[in-house]
Structure 1
Amino acid sequence: MNSGAALAPSLDPTESSVRLLFSCTPAFGHFLPLVPLARAAHRAGHDVAVMTSAGMASVVAAELPDASFLAAGPMPDVLFTEVARRHPAADDAGVPGDPARVAELFAGVRVDLTMDDAVEAAGAWAPDLVVAEAVDFVGPLVARLLGIPTAVVAFGPALPEEFTSPMFLVAASRYAARGVAPEPPLAVIDPTPTLLQDPAWRPGPALLPLRAEPHRRDGESAVTGRHSGDGAVPTVLVTLGTVFADDALLQGIIASIAPGTAEVVATVGVLPDAVLPEDTATVHYERFRPMAELLEGVDVVVTAGGAGTVLAALSQGIPLVLIPQGADQPINAGRAAAAGVGLLVDHADAVGDAVQQVVADPRFAVAAKAVRDEIEARPSPDDVIAALAHRWSDEPASTRPTHPIDDQQRSTR
């Protein structure tokens, strides 16, 4: 039995359902970590809605067809443009990398350009609880205005204070502008095993541990039958995620892997009009697919270090070669390397040799399987949703903040 059984009993069927609003930055890597929890909430009979940019509507519908969709705010291209306008030193890729610009993106620009839509949409839907991914500052502010609690979903190793403090400082000014103050979350849902956290990390009192799972379409079975090839050479998955899927970098990585030393599966990102290169004798290209499908039969994953890819690979005990490009990837990659589950490289031409080292040295596979075992022992999404619902129902109503928006919306529910 996994440790999730100790979190909380199953929700009593006689209990009323909870209206859960899942809120996220409009990007795959921020939305997909919420999907298993949203599906679990729906299975438990709760009402589920997702709030993010209208440009994510088709993605949300494909993953969560039973959820209500609340459109609020622009897509990342608009956000990056505004960050660059406010901070002209933004890098060429348009993706802020230093703490000040990261804070401006998530806690400043996105809040400024999204809040009016979000307050109106969420107020009309009238949730009981907002579940927000870790760098979504829109959902928690909306929750504060509606007088309801927030649960926060982490998606990788804890960010250092040099990144979190500027974000909270910028966010605090947006709360003050609307006449409220931040409050601690009801729960912090964390899929990151302790083996990947900094040694100084300590769990807070609101922690709800979660079992990380590879992204899969609803209804698909768990990953089985890995290492299905003949084993003559290792199978290597090269995936740079959905933001840093640069073709030149991808081709440089593939070129570094000597023909005959590995079978390569390479993803080309999420853009539907992206050119899919022709397969070769040893390289097969894939468009965006659920990680649960891509990981079957894989011996090593080459990744830029996105949290979702790192956790997905390690949930299957697959070691890594990490070539971080930006955002939180250096943090995730550094923690993975420190845990002994992979090698960290800084140039594409070093990847091939690193792959061979990871394959040849059994210590990497042993360390990856240790992380897998810790992940498997953590509570399932169904366990976590049950615990969250009980935590919400046990919270005294008198301790919840109140706001005129809350009173108005609840009177019309």
Structure 2
Amino acid sequence: MSTDFLFVTVPQTGHTLPLTPFAAELVRRGHRVRWYTGSSMAAAVLATGAEFLPIAAELDYDQSDLETAFPGRSALNGLPQARFDLEHIFLRPAGAHFAALSAMPPADVVVGDTWAVAVPWLHESTGVPTATIGVNPLLFPSVDAPPAGLGMTPIGAPFNRARNRFLNTIVRRVALAPSVRVADDVRQHIGLPRAQRNPLAYAARTQLYLQLSPPGFEYPRRDLPEHVHFLGYPIAESTAYDKPAWWDRLEGRVVLVTQGTVAVDPAAVLRPTLAALADRDVFVVAATGGAPIESLNPLPDNAVAERFIPFDELLPHVDVLVTNGGFGGVQRAIAHGVPLVVAGTTEDKKDVNARVAHSGIGIDLRTETPTAEAIGTAVATVLADDRYRKAAVRVRDSAPKENPVGRGTDLLEQLASQRTHEPAGGR
């Protein structure tokens, strides 16, 4: 039986593109899929066969120029920037998104990315079944894991759980207290009761949580909700990709360096990596994430640059990925068993990179601006020590054996079969 799915994503590549395989598979199985997101994502949405529903112009923005849309953001870093993003990019607009979604013809199931805050609010208001597809490290609090945003790792027993309880309390009552007030003010404005909850826990309040990473990448949690399913990261099917002229240079040791699509200043990771490896016996492929290739000139003789390149075509040939720690890029590397060198502290990168180091799949340089020397040393270490690649393979193989897209789509269909459309929390 055909089901009406409504997808809701933040208008950023890392929040939207990971959901496209699931939408395409739902369409292939005969379901209707509508997708509410920003205008820059329209082509990717339409390519899945879904119907594109643009968010209002005043809520849309250019992910490559967040400072224009959210003045003052670029001056912040670490926890202050994380709190700024939480309040200004995700929570404050959520009321308008909630109103827009509530005015649409009702869907059978609503699917959001991790930060589509209005999605669990819809369930609370209307009872519509909702699902989250996790495109970040797990955010909801746990006694077994440190709070999100700190870039911390678990410590040994018997102190780990006590420390985490203390930190979770401090983060909720102190660090995120202003964000709790913002969330509750928005909720009250749209007719929902104040909740006084950690805003980072909202995504966990959907009925189905599909995490796009293997369980071996996450910190072990004895209090993990039963509705959380680790899928691993989907690998794109091989296509008739027109390979560039340099493709035959992928026979030796290959290093791929990228900064994703949001933090695209080449001075952060791209240029230092090219400088660090210029005289090494490796072939370097630099992916700018959309920034002009000319920004990297002059390129060393052992390097090439592309604005975009299909990573799933390239990664089987790669020995090390150097990245600032975007979740999607790291998960793609894991899916191909490729070890990493990571350097980034903005957005969720502290938490991603802490997990890279904790799982043994790479080296975390713990900075936003690594030196060429530090990158060169780290890359040489990863290339020389096969334990990093073995760890990447082990983490990859901790994911279920089923195809992530097929398994995730099965679970979405199961959720649809359970729909009741009774309000969960009332107004």
TM-score, normalization by structure 1: 0.79
SS at match of 2:74: coil
Q: CA deviation at 1:376?
A: 5.5
For residues 258 and 80 of structure 1, the distance between their equivalents in structure 2, rounded to whole angstroms, comes to 33
Distance 1:307 1:23 in 2: 19
Is 1:192 aligned with 2:216?
Answer: no
Per-residue deviation at 1:380?
2.4
Q: Deviations over 1:383-412 (max 9, x none)?
A: 2212221233124x27444999xxxxxxxx
Pick closer, same or farther for the CA change 1:362–1:55 going to 2, 3 Å.
closer
Alignment partners' CA distance in 1, 2:418 and 2:96: 35
Distance 1:230 1:145, change over 3 A: closer
Q: CA deviation at 1:112?
A: 4.8
Distance in 1 (alpha carbons) for counterparts of 2:283 and 2:40: 36
Post-superposition shift, 1:209? 2.5
Q: Offset at 1:260?
A: 3.4
Aligned alpha-carbon RMSD (Å): 3.2
Percent identity over paired residues = 27
The answer to which of 135-144 and 190-199 deviates more is 135-144
Distance 1:96 1:42, change over 3 A: farther
1:75 aligns with 2:99: no
Name 2:411's counterpart in structure 1: 387
Aligned counterpart, 2:160: none
Alpha-carbon distance in 1 for matches of 2:259, 2:39: 25
| Aligned mate of 1:220, from 239, 248, 271 | 239
Match of 1:54 in 2: 39
CA distance in 2, matches of 1:221, 1:391: 35
1:315 pairs, out of 335, 338, 347, with 335
* Amino acid paired to 2:414: H
1:43 to 24, 28, 41: 28
Shift, 1:348, TM fit:
3.1
1:237 aligns with 256
Taking a change above 3 Å as real, the CA distance of residues 169 and 294 of structure 1, as seen in their structure-2 partners, is farther
* Comparing 236-245 and 163-172, the one that deviates more: 163-172
CA distance in 2, matches of 1:279, 1:81: 31
Secondary structure at the counterpart of residue 261 of structure 1: coil
Corresponding residue for 2:301?
A: 281
Q: Once the 2 structures are TM-superposed, how far is the Cα of residue 322 of structure 1 from its aligned partner?
A: 0.5
Picking from 136, 140, 150, the partner of 2:130 is 150
Aligned to 1:134: 114
Is 1:32 matched with 2:51?
Answer: no
The aligned counterpart of 2:385 is 361
Residues in 1 aligned to 2:122 and 2:421: alpha-carbon distance in whole angstroms:
19
What is the CA distance between 1:273 and its match in structure 2? 9.0
Displacement of 1:324 after TM fit? 1.1
Deviations 1:73-98 (A, max 9, x none): 311568755644xxx5x433799854
Query: Aligned residue for 2:8?
Result: 23
Deviations 1:323-379 (A, max 9, x none): 114110111011111111001113132111111100100111110110121235255
Matched position secondary structure for 2:111: strand
Please state how far the C-alpha of 1:130 moved relative to its aligned partner.
0.8
Q: Is the 8 A contact 1:71 1:118 kept in 2?
A: no
Secondary structure of the corresponding residue to residue 56 of structure 1: helix
Is contact 1:106-1:137 (8 Å) kept? no
- Which residue number corresponds to residue 269 of structure 1? 289
Contact 2:234 2:404 in 1 (8 A): no
Q: Which residue of 2 aligns with 1:8?
A: none
Shift of the 253–229 alpha-carbon distance from structure 1 to 2, 3 Å rule, reads closer
Query: Over residues 202-247 of structure 1, what are the superposed CA-to-partner deviations in whole Å (9 max), with x where a residue is unaligned?
Result: 4212112213124x3x77399xxxx986754x10000111111212
In structure 1, distance between residues paired with 2:107 and 2:115: 20
* Residue 187 (structure 2) aligned to one of 157, 175, 181: 175
Q: Is the CA contact 1:304–1:323 (under 8 Å) kept in the aligned structure 2? A: yes
Distance 2:212 2:9 in 1: 16
Check whether the contact 2:123–2:206 (CA below 8 A) recurs between aligned residues: no
Matched position secondary structure for 2:92: helix
Give me the whole-angstrom Cα distance separating, in 1, the residues matched to 2:261 and 2:23: 21
**After the TM superposition, which of the residue ranges 138-147 and 249-258 deviates more from structure 2?**
138-147
Tell me the amino acid that sits aligned with residue 115 of structure 2: V
SS at match of 1:301: strand
1:274-321 Cα distance to aligned partner (Å, 9 max, x none): 757465421010112332123131110001111101110011100000
Pairing partner for 1:206 from 221, 227, 241: 227
Q: Is the 8 A contact 2:134 2:210 kept in 1?
A: yes
Call closer, same or farther: CA 1:231–1:274 in 2, change over 3 Å. Answer: closer
Structure 2: any 5+ residue segments left out of the alignment? 140-145, 150-170, 196-201, 242-246
Structure 1 residues 243 and 363, CA, compared in 2 at 3 Å: closer, same or farther? Answer: same
- Determine the structure 1 residue equivalent to 2:164: none
Aligned residue type for 2:375: V
> 142-151 or 365-374, which moves further after superposition?
142-151
1:385 alignment partner AA:
T
Q: What residue identity is the alignment partner of 1:128?
A: D
* Matched residue type, 2:408: V
* Number of residue pairs aligned between Structure 1 and Structure 2: 372
Q: Distance in 2 between matches of 1:200 and 1:151?
A: 21
Secondary structure in structure 2 of the residue aligned to 1:375: coil
